[in-house]
Amino acid sequence: MKIELNREFIEQLTQLIAQKADPEIIQTIGSLHPADIAEIMEQLDLDESQYLFLLLDGELAADVLVEIPENDWNSYLKLLPPDTIAHRFIEYLESDDAADVMAELDDDLQDEVLQQMEDKEQAGDIADLLEYDEDTAGGIMATELVAVNENWTVQTCLKEISVQAEDIDEIYYVYVVDDKHFLKGVLSLKKLIMKPTHTPIKSLVTEDAHFVRTDASQEEVAQVMEKYDLVALPVVDQIGRLKGRITIDDVVDIIREEADKDYQMASGISGDVDAGDNVFQRAWTRIPWLFIGMCGGIVGAGVLGSHSSQLAQIPAMAFFIPLIAAMAGNVGVQSSSIIVQSIASGNRNFDSVGRKLVKELSVAFSTALLFSVLIFLYNFFFNGDMGLTYSVSITLFIVMIFASLFGTVIPLILNKLKIDPAVATGPFITTTNDILGLIIYMTVARMFFEVL
């Protein structure tokens, strides 16, 4: 029976928690998916969610834990002794999820939990994973996989797979290694079950298998899996020994995290923002870019102040300042977004990016010409001041070209300097183009009004 997670359900569960009716609570949530239980816990207050969490046990408890936001893991696990954490949670998790959870714990608690684990091989795998940077292939891989020796026959291989599969939720590929555990290729399960049992594995292996090294960035992992439509990707060390695998569910999380990060950066929010962050943490992520915006505003005010006599002489000029600033900012953000998207998708070769640069400038030229003509016609028929008409039209054309140029070049430069090009979008480009637009507008207007 499907349970609807509405307000009425939450209130009923809250009452059961208040009554400490443990059997009824377990009966109520026992059939739910771990993600649904995690969603319920987010709607409860901290004490209620902790009480509910402590009622869970075994595989369900572990599955719910990985569905909870990372910044909440500590608030739940700190209530438990190390042996309980080890036996009720970590031992039920795959190595990559276990390492993610352990990484959020204090170093001393990590050591205690690892010492309490009964499966020392699993504890060793987790300890090894904790040594990798969390944003690399080594940091997100799982050590659970199916690996067979190239010298085996199909019969031996099938027996070994049945043994290794006990510790793995999903088998996507069978990896073939040599006697020293160097990755030799990938084995198709279809080939395996269709060939005679005496067939040597070496004759069935696909040797041009895609892989990444442990120090590869998580963005590179996502690009490889997306490009070649892979559901799992083997990870090898610097000399080619098989160390683990990364599955598609991990990559989906990476893509979502990167999209969230780029969106926040483009919006002027630095750092990661999670739903559980407090007011101070949320405010702090916005302050740097707001400060840049304020500094840009001060510079813009200075530009206007230095041309105050010009504005006093021709007050109508002020009416078009918001228009020029808005158009410059929009064009800059649009152009930079295209380039950032191209870089994020792995298109870093000069020819590809160069073509996009030329195309963006061509688009900018055509759109700038269109809108400068439109604003010229508007001023010609409704304003009558030809000096202002020419000034606004020419300024808009120049500003849109420069804004597109900045929007395309700055992300490329930042990427070359190993800086996330997403920082080029949003407030940075907008502020820069606002200042540039004002300078160009005042300069062009002064030239035309001196001539006319």
244, 100: one domain = no
327, 184: one domain = no
pLDDT at 243: 94
pLDDT at 245: 93
pLDDT at 177: 93
86, 228: one domain = no
Q: What average pLDDT score do residues 215-241 get?
A: 90
Based on C-alpha coordinates, what's the Rg of the chain?
30
155, 288: one domain = no
Q: Nearest CA to 109 among 69, 139, 74?
A: 74
Residue 344 predicted with pLDDT over 70: no
Look at residues 86, 102, 133 and tell me which one is the last residue of a structural domain: 133
pLDDT at 275: 52
187, 126: one domain = no
103, 12: one domain = yes
Alpha carbon separation from 38 to 41, 218, 290, 300 (Å, rounded): 5, 26, 34, 48
Which residue range forms the structural domain that includes residue 239? 147-256
At residue 1 the predicted structure's pLDDT band, cuts being 50, 70 and 90, is very low
pLDDT digits (tens, 9 = 90+) for 279-322: 666 666 667 766 777 787 788 778 777 777 777 777 878 888 88
Residue 32 predicted with pLDDT over 60: yes
334, 364: one domain = yes
Overall number of domains in the chain: 3
Residues 418, 413: Cα–Cα separation, whole Å: 9
Cβ atoms of 250 and 96 within 8 Å: the answer is yes
Look at residues 133, 160, 189 and tell me which one is the last residue of a structural domain: 133
163, 56: one domain = no
89, 207: one domain = no
At residue 447 the predicted structure's pLDDT band, cuts being 50, 70 and 90, is confident
325, 234: one domain = no
Whole-prediction pTM: 0.63
Residue 342 predicted with pLDDT over 80: no
pLDDT at 266: 54
443, 301: one domain = yes
Q: Is residue 274 part of a domain?
A: no
Structure tokens at 263: 């969106």
The alpha carbon dihedral of 105, 107, 109, 112 has a sign of positive
195, 85: one domain = no
Q: What average pLDDT score do residues 123-152 get?
A: 91
Q: Is residue 221 part of a domain?
A: yes
Look at residues 191, 225, 256 and tell me which one is the last residue of a structural domain: 256
